[in-house]
């Protein structure tokens, strides 16, 4: 079957879509490092995400007190949803926050960005992701989930999913299988497609069987970076994309400066990366997902969708943190429109 036919059969389902995200509602605290020594001092693996308890959080905060830091609303799925909203897609987000100042800050940020809030509240402190930005732009997370970890299957209702066309979830949630199973079943019952970002290679290693179940039984679109794809399949990116695509509708493997690989059925595409100066890779994969899903939502081919994702990812790595200012977004929209009109 020709590629354009294969692409069109799928993307027709996604035109004019409203997208719901579900993930950990976290405040990102970002520290730019002069070396990776600090990462070693707190016992984290460079490039990974590790859950930390309150004692390690206090230790990291003490280390961060002597380093310049910035703060932004984050969480993988929330970053993708924010990107989609900037591009004009109607969105919503499910997560859990504390009844504290950070929680209020998070909720206000969603509302100010035009994202419909389905946030739940907890008496626990709001979660935060202590983010180490290495000199090479790689980021490492020590994540204190706090209230975010208390989001449970009991918090979900069919009404949250009604009116949306796709649910985008982050792989960090695989640590609560009951939560994800209920979410995807409610979504499927309401006719939603499922998009999954694998999120972290060490999460996959910790939950290999459930990660496989999620991809095989529920996901329609799967995003993974090359480390996550290797953790899931044991193969390098191109072969890994093929293996994942056998288990879902579309597989995307993000390879940083080497671009991305997109596979649907027997069709495999290589998309080159955007030439950019990487300052901080935080949010690159999330914004790639936002651009790719935006492309599908507008009936684009897989190649066009991948290029839109690349434009967003190539821009966000040039700033600190996962959020970009309106001036940069206006330039992005001009590039995206030019691509769509070409």
Is residue 52 within 8 A of residue 142, CB to CB? The reply is: yes
Q: Is the pLDDT of residue 206 over 90?
A: no
H/E element holding 20? strand 19-22
Q: Is the pLDDT of residue 1 over 80?
A: no
Tally of CA atoms within 13 A in the half-sphere of 15 that contains its CB: 9
pLDDT tens figures, 298-336 = 999 999 999 999 999 999 999 988 899 999 999 999 999
Inter-CA distances, 307 with 59, 273, 292, 313, Å:
41, 8, 8, 10
Query: What's the pLDDT score for residue 227?
Result: 94
Q: Is the pLDDT of residue 160 over 50?
A: yes
Q: Could you tell me which residue, 5 or 124, shows the higher pLDDT?
A: 124
Is residue 268 within 8 A of residue 241, CB to CB? The reply is: yes
Domains identified in the chain and CATH numbers: 3-24+75-125+149-341 (3.40.1190.20)
Instruction: Work out the angle at residue 90's Cα, subtended by the Cα atoms of residues 197 and 342, and round it to the nearest 5 degrees.
Output: 80
What are residue 252's DSSP bridge partners?
A: 223, 262
Tally of CA atoms within 13 A in the half-sphere of 314 that contains its CB: 20
Is residue 31 within 8 A of residue 74, CB to CB? The reply is: no
In 134-187 the beta strands, taken as DSSP E runs, fall at 139-144, 166-170
- Per DSSP, the residues of 79-117 read HHHHHHHHTT--EEEE-EEESSHHHHHHHHHHHHTTPEE
pLDDT tens figures, 93-147 = 999 999 998 899 999 999 999 999 999 999 999 999 999 999 998 889 999 999 9
What are residue 27's DSSP bridge partners?
A: 73, 128
pTM recorded for the entire structure: 0.88
Query: What's the pLDDT score for residue 139?
Result: 86
Q: Report d(CA 29, CA 128) in Å as an integer.
A: 7
Q: Which residues, at least 6 apart from 234, have a Cβ–Cβ distance to it below 8 Å? A: none
């Amino acid at each position: 079957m020709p590629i354009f036919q294969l692409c069109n059969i799928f993307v027709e389902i996604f035109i004019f879509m409203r997208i719901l995200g579900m993930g950990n509602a976290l405040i990102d605290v970002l520290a730019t490092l002069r070396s990776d020594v600090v990462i070693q001092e707190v016992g984290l693996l460079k490039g990974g995400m590790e859950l930390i308890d309150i004692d390690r959080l206090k230790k990291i905060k003490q280390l961060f007190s002597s380093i310049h830091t910035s703060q932004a609303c984050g969480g993988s799925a929330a970053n993708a949803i924010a990107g989609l909203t900037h591009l004009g897609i109607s969105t919503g987000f499910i997560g859990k926050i504390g009844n504290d100042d950070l929680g209020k800050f998070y909720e206000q940020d969603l509302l100010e960005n035009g994202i419909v809030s389905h946030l739940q509240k907890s008496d626990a402190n709001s979660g935060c992701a202590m983010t180490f930005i290495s000199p090479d732009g790689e980021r490492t997370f020590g994540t204190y989930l706090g209230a975010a970890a208390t989001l449970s299957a009991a918090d979900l209702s069919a009404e949250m999913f009604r009116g949306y066309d796709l649910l985008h979830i982050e792989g960090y949630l695989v640590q609560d299988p009951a939560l994800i199973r209920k979410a995807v079943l409610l979504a499927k019952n309401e006719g939603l497609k499922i998009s999954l970002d694998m999120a972290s290679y060490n999460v996959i290693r910790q939950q290999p069987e459930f990660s496989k179940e999620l991809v095989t039984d529920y996901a329609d679109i799967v995003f993974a970076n090359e480390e996550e794809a290797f953790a899931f399949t044991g193969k390098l990116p191109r072969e890994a994309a093929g293996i994942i695509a056998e288990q879902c509708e579309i597989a995307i493997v993000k390879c940083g400066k080497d671009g991305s690989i997109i596979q649907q059925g027997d069709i495999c595409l290589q998309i080159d990366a955007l030439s950019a100066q990487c300052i901080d890779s935080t949010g690159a994969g999330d914004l790639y997902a936002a651009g790719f899903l935006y492309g599908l939502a507008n009936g684009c081919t897989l190649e066009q969708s991948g290029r839109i994702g690349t434009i967003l990812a190539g821009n966000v790595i040039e700033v600190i943190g996962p959020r970009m200012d309106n001036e940069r977004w206006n330039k992005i929209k001009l590039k995206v429109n030019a691509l769509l009109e070409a």
